[in-house]
Amino acid sequence: MDKTQQKQTKQLKHLIIGAIGIVYGDIGTSPLYTVKECFSNTGFPLTEASVLGILSLILWSITLIVSIKYVFFILQADNNGEGGILALTALVLKRRFDKYYRTVLIFGIVGAALFYGDAVLTPAISVLSAVEGISIYSTAFSPYVIPLTVVILLGLFLIQSHGTANLGKFFGPAMIIWFFVIAILGLIQIIHNPIVLKAINPWYGINFLTTHGLVGVGSLGAVVLAITGAEALYADMGHFGRISIQRAWFYLVFPSLALNYMGQAALILTNNEAIQNPFYFLVPTVWVFPLMILSTIATIIASQAVISGLFSISWQAIQLGYLPRMQVIHTSGEHIGQVYVPMVNKIIMVLTIGLVLVFKSSNNLASAYGFAVTGIMVITTILTTIIALRAWEWSVFKTTSLFGVFLLVDLLFCAVNSTKIVEGGWMPLLIAVAAFYIMTTWIKGRNILADNIIHAGKTIRGFKKLLSDIHPLRIPGVAVYMNSTPENIPNSFSINYRHNKVMHEKVIFLSVITRNEPRVKKAEKIKIIELGFNVYEVIYSIGFKEVPNITQIFERCDENGLCLDLCETSFFMSRGIPVSTIHPRMSLWRAKLFIFLAKNAMHATEYYKIPYARVIELGVRIKI
């Protein structure tokens, strides 16, 4: 093995360890509460048939949805290595899907909005369920469960700025210990009561559903807790890559989860009292406190899986124009997908802690869990079906045979969990609705602004004729006019010329366009069009996982023969100031929401990393 191969092997090992820590934290801590919730409010007798039936449903849900659907198939639907609902949406939109563009876009936005709702709930239920173990050790500690949970959550969100890579160095080894511990605890109980191995046969799950009717189907509302984290697995693909995520799952995570779930079922059949909290009853009382500490560490890591995925989706949404510009910090020099979004982190922190204070227990939070997760799964399956037909060129029969099964299972889980909306599922749904309206309002508002700018401006073709007719006065220097619509003259140029009646010696109309792909090849990044009279149109393309940087744009211009000096260039930027009107083009409340978002968006100067001293901003009031 040469040095290059050794380096690649070493890097893959680090990525696998990081994936175990970050990607599988959420689904890896589901054993803390899944089995308990399956029996706590259902009233099922703890007979061999019911326990094996529930266990079979858990094992086969994990196998079908996580192992087969997500790890094997969905991870192949990557957008140049990037995953997540928005990356998947962008991938579909690239496949000549213009006729249904709006429908696909809405699917993607709804999925992203549901992910926000899930991301708020996951840290709350994960950490709270772990800390509740202290009550089993001693009821005297019960009053401290909520305060301790809040403190832990605060610490979790405060360390986010250190980045996924740095956190993964600690989280990976810690989660490896976690998975080995839960596997051993489960294996011990299986040895004592090996009858639970029968649950590997799916007949037990099917028989349970048919025997108990609608009540049995209703149990899927708790079974779904075993597969929460599957979408975070997909969203985090840009952080660690498909191969490392797949190997981590099959080498360690899946076997450990299966053993622990079977161990809890074996324990319940042996000791019915263990149903109070079957996970912590796996160990003697003296070991509950150390296990609680390990569980708390694991749940902190579990929360990280969703939070890091949320940062990725937020960044994609900003780049694609679905959210206002916000500060995005890249926390790794090697992996561009590892980002930290401070504003999103603050909002999620407040909402998550608020949920803990309102619901007060993991049982109450569990009733709120499920609908957002299954909703995302349905949308992911539908969009991947389109990819299978358009990109993978599968036959209709093959696609519907496979993804039809996935969709039926997803819809069944979604329908069952919709009954939990009244019990608490309204909370993540409310957060999702708020996120949906923020994104759709921002998209519609930007489109209105763009239409107004287009109608107010002049086309490039008309500009050429204008220059040949008027021969404007030229002054020394280089002027760059930022442009949102390449077909038109920048609004900033029109305003500046109308008031000052002069042009610089060299004029650049610069448009930065975000494509529906993560990264644009270097050869396709820049297009320079000479308009005559020493005026140039520069169209610079970036992917939704790239950061626009004026220095890099100038370097590309130099490489293509257009020499520009950043220190001698003036940047003219028009800032559309939206104002509401008597007859707005959107409802009044949405118009006011858009104005609020626009006023609080990150300034374009900072976003494009343009030196402040070189910027001349021209404001124009635009009615919406």
Which pLDDT belongs to residue 252? 93
Is the pTM above the cut of 0.75? yes
In single-letter form, the type of residue at position 441 comes to: T
Of residues 260 and 272, more confidence is placed in 260
266: helix, strand or coil: helix
Q: What is the Cα–Cα distance from 531 to 384, expressed in whole angstroms? A: 43
Range 519-542 average pLDDT = 88
Which two structure tokens, joined as six digits, stand for 350?
Answer: 């407040």
Which two structure tokens, joined as six digits, stand for 145?
Answer: 């469960």
pLDDT band with cut points at 50, 70 and 90 for residue 36: confident
Q: Which residues pair with 572 in a beta bridge?
A: 481, 616
pLDDT band with cut points at 50, 70 and 90 for residue 425: confident
Greatest mean pLDDT range, 7-11, 73-77, 286-290, 456-460: 73-77
- Region of poorest pLDDT, from 71-80, 316-325, 379-388, 456-465: 456-465
Kind and range of the H or E run holding 140: none
526-532 and 473-483 as β-strands: parallel, antiparallel, unpaired? Answer: unpaired
Which pLDDT belongs to residue 581? 65
Q: What is the Cα–Cα distance from 345 to 143, expressed in whole angstroms? A: 28
Which pLDDT belongs to residue 2? 63
Question: What is the layout of strands, in order, in the sheet containing 569-579?
Answer: 526-532, 535-542, 502-514, 473-483, 569-579, 615-623
Range 408-428 average pLDDT = 84
Q: State the residue for tokens 């028989």.
A: 207
Which residues, 6+ apart, have CB-to-CB distance to 412 below 8 Å? 217, 220
Indicate if the pLDDT at residue 407 is higher than 90: yes
- Write the Ramachandran bin of 140: left for phi over 0, alpha for psi from -120 to 50, otherwise beta: alpha
Greatest mean pLDDT range, 15-19, 265-269, 414-418: 265-269
pLDDT in tens, 99-131: 777 888 888 899 889 888 888 888 888 788 878
- Write the Ramachandran bin of 615: left for phi over 0, alpha for psi from -120 to 50, otherwise beta: beta
Spatial CA neighbour of 454 closest among 406, 486, 478: 486
What's the whole-number average pLDDT of the chain?
A: 83
The fold for domain 3-419 equals: Amino acid/polyamine transporter I (1.20.1740)
pLDDT in tens, 162-186: 665 555 567 778 889 999 999 999 9
Indicate if the pLDDT at residue 484 is higher than 80: no
Q: What is the Cα–Cα distance from 574 to 457, expressed in whole angstroms? A: 12
Indicate if the pLDDT at residue 67 is higher than 90: yes
Spatial CA neighbour of 229 closest among 35, 66, 347, 339: 66
Domain map of the chain by residue range? 3-419, 452-623
pLDDT band with cut points at 50, 70 and 90 for residue 539: very high
Which two structure tokens, joined as six digits, stand for 65?
Answer: 């949805």
Exposure letters 567-583 (e unless 16+ CB within 10 A, then b): eebebbbbbbebeeeee
Q: Is 85 within 8 Å of 238 (Cβ atoms)?
A: no
Indicate if the pLDDT at residue 572 is higher than 60: yes
Range 431-447 average pLDDT = 89
Q: Which residues pair with 481 in a beta bridge?
A: 509, 572
